[in-house]
Each structure stands twice: as C-alpha cells, then as structure tokens.
Amino acid sequence: MENLQEIYDLAKQRLRESRLLFNAGEVDGAFYLAGYSVELMLKWKICKNFEIHNLFSTESPPMIEGVKVLKDSTYTHNLYILLLFSGLRAKFDTDKSTNITLFKANSLLFSCWNPNVRYKPCGHKETYDVENLLTLLENNITGLIRWIEVS
C-alpha cells in the first residue's frame, strides 16, 4: 500500500468481498474479511492523522526515526491498538455509550476479532452475528467504517 487512497480502497474492497462471501454462505470467511476491512480503515486513519501517506508501504524508503517507531508500533492486527494510534479510542469509548451501532460493533467485532479467526473451524461464527456486523459496517450514515472515516 503506497498511499492513503490505496489503503482506503482496499478497506472498502475487503468489505465488499466480505459481503460476497456472506451472501455465498461463507460466514466465517466473511467475518474475517469484515474485521480486516476495519483494520485497514484504522490504518488509513493513522496515516491520515500523522500525514504519512506511505506508512504501510512494502518499499523501504528512508524514514526518520520517529516514523520508523510509528510504523513498527502499528504493524499489528490488534484493533484496540490501531484504535489507540488512530486517535479514536477515547471518542469510540464515549460514542459507543450513546451510539448503538458502535456499541454493537464493539461486542461483535472488537471483542472477538483477530487474524487467528481464519484458523478456527468452519461454523464458529453465528450467521446472525456476522449479518449484523456487516450491516453495522456497511451503513454509509451510521456504520463503523463511516464513523472511522469522518471522526
């Protein structure tokens, strides 16, 4: 990922792919990609906030030490850590107390998603939960992806 637009586009693409998998009955894969789309949106937000458009580039451009520390620190799949580095953790904690979408996303995603879910046996996620999660992510007005984008 070389720039902000690539990160953003990839996050949106993974969410679309998640919906396609879900519609095809592949609930567990849909859950994994849904979480990955949130991970990418948080990484997009980090890059945007720090004005470092190539933070997650696979190339190794010369970087000042502070940028290298940030890159190393955000090379994670932990959504809570990414939420912290994005500058949205406190706002998320406050908003989820009054925003039902964020509250539900917290329980359906933040509390149970990590990249290791891809190794869980088929059927570990409830269809109803994944369908709700996708709805919470996809809503262009109140969804979690939109919330990350505009916060």
Please name the residues in contact with 72: beta carbons below 8 A apart, sequence gap of 6 or more: none
pTM exceeding 0.85: yes
**Nearest Cα to Cα of residue 79 among 58, 51, 49, 107:** 107
CA dist list (Å): 141 to 35, 121, 133, 138, 145 = 19, 34, 15, 9, 9
Phi, psi of 114 (to 5 degrees): -160, 165
pLDDT tens column, 6-37 = 999 999 999 999 999 999 999 999 999 999 99
pLDDT tens column, 76-106 = 889 999 999 999 999 999 999 999 989 999 8
Find tokens 């290298």 and name the residue.
68
pLDDT tens column, 37-50 = 999 999 999 999 98
Burial environment of residue 43 by CB neighbours within 10 A (0 to 12, 13 to 18, 19 or more): buried
How many C-beta neighbours within 10 Å does residue 16 have? 12
One-letter amino acid for residue 3 of the chain: N
